[in-house]
């Protein structure tokens, strides 16, 4: 395997009147082609800021330094226009709240077609056909009808699937999924996880996956990075990090999460109404 993305010495600071306030310091990782990296850490540990920095999505209010070499180019020093061309086509992000990624005033089909036309340089009719196929590939029934609906007419899970369908249609080299299932119910989480596994198995797309769900993480990633207060505390093959964490913080985080999952499973075992959630956990674990 060869490296698709190599991040080194990544520092991010918030520019404030009193001077820069560090948010992320010294982050580094390598993502192999066709590989999957999981980033875990407690809330506020810098997972999203790291990914947004790599994608050039942080605004003027942030100072970003270091290197993020993607297919031979340093993303951190690319001009905004070149970065815009890469984002979507080569690097795509799946967000936690898909609704915020869509224009509420425009049917999802038109939005998908516009994105596809921009990146694939194709006509409107061809783009709509690709959009229909993309939804069908996500097991969405009656895709032609779904394309005519506005974002608010679709459930969160359905919108997330539309988002993933669009992402896959663009066949990016890298997908960054930042807590893509957090806002969804457990059955929909399971469906979305299946789609992420499909992305993984296609071997065409590399994945950076951010989640608080260790079970989901274990299903998907081959390498893991643990962050704490903006800094990396552990990095290595996922199985080693999850089974034999070396740093105190990674051990604490993983043991706490495992204990939480065990307690939830015991609780769900006593509550027949939680069968669906148990099913999801069982598959994910
Ligand atoms: N737009 C922003 N302006 C100022 N500070 C920010 C901004 N976005 C993030 N931060 C700060 O940067 C740090 C890292 O935040 P980040 O969103 O990366 O955490 P996270 O690990 O993704 O957490 P979560 O699991 O809750 O999503 C936090 O201290 C957060 O308050
Ligand atoms: Mg986050």
Is residue 36 within 8 Å of 221, Cβ to Cβ? Answer: yes
The domains of the chain, with CATH numbers, are: 3-90+173-284 (3.40.50.300), 99-171 (no CATH)
Distance 46 CA to ligand 1 centre (A): 6
pLDDT reported for residue 258: 78
Q: How far is the CA of 45 from the centre of ligand 1 (A)?
A: 7
Beta bridge partners of 61: none
Cβ of 14 closer than 6 Å to ligand 1, yes or no, is yes
Residue 282: pLDDT band (50, 70, 90) is very low
What kind and span of H or E run contains 151? none
Average pLDDT over residues 93-121: 89
CA nearest 48: which of 158, 182, 166, 170? 182
Give the chain's mean pLDDT: 88
Region 46-64 average pLDDT? 95
Q: What is the pLDDT of residue 94?
A: 87
Contact between 164 and 193 (Cβ < 8 Å): no
pLDDT at site 96 = 79
41 alpha carbon, closest ligand: 1
277 falls in which pLDDT band (50, 70, 90)?
Answer: very low
Task: Examine the pLDDT at 267 and tell me if it is beyond 90.
Answer: no
Task: Tell which wins on pLDDT, 71 or 187.
Answer: 71
For ligand 1, is residue 48 a contact (CB within 6 Å)? yes
* pLDDT reading at 148 higher than 70: yes
Per-position DSSP letters for 96-148, written without gaps between them: S-GGGGS-TTS-HHHHHHHHHHHHH---HHHHHHHHHHHHHHTT-SSHHHHTT
Nearest Cα residue to atom 25 of ligand 1: 43
The arrangement of strands across the sheet holding 73-74 comes to: 19-32, 3-16, 62-70, 73-74
Is 41:253 a contact under the CB 8 Å cutoff?
yes
What confidence tens digit (pLDDT) does each residue in 163-198 have?
A: 988 988 888 999 999 998 877 777 778 878 888 888
Instruction: Provide, rounded to the nearest whole percent, the portion of the chain with pLDDT above 70.
Output: 94
Question: In this structure, how many other beta carbons lie within 10 angstroms of the beta carbon of residue 268?
Answer: 20
**Mean pLDDT, residues 188-211:** 86
């Amino acid at each position: 395997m060869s490296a698709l993305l190599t991040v080194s010495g990544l520092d991010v600071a918030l520019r404030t009147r009193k001077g820069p306030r560090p948010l992320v310091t010294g982050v580094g990782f390598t993502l192999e082609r066709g590989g999957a990296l999981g980033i875990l850490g407690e809330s506020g540990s810098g997972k999203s800021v790291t990914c947004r920095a790599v994608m050039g999505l942080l605004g003027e209010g942030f100072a970003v330094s270091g290197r993020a070499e993607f297919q031979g180019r340093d993303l951190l020093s690319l001009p905004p226009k070149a970065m815009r061309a890469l984002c979507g086509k080569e690097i795509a992000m799946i967000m936690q709240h898909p609704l915020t990624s869509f224009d509420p005033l425009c049917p999802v089909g038109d939005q998908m077609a516009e994105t596809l036309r921009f990146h694939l340089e194709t006509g409107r009719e061809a783009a709509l056909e690709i959009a229909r196929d993309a939804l069908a590939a996500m097991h969405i029934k009656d895709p032609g009808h779904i394309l005519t609906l506005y974002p608010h007419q679709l459930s969160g899970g359905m919108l997330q699937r539309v988002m993933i369908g669009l992402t896959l249609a663009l066949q990016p080299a890298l997908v960054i999924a930042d807590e893509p299932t957090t806002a969804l119910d457990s059955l929909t989480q399971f469906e979305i996880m299946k789609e992420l596994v499909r992305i993984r198995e296609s071997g065409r797309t590399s994945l950076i996956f951010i989640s608080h769900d260790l079970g989901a993480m274990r299903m998907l990633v081959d390498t893991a990075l643990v962050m704490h207060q903006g800094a990396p505390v552990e990095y290595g093959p996922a199985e080693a990090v999850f089974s034999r964490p070396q740093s105190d913080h990674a051990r604490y985080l993983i043991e706490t999460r495992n204990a939480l999952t065990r307690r939830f499973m015991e609780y769900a075992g006593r509550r027949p109404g939680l069968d669906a959630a148990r099913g999801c956990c069982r598959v994910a674990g």
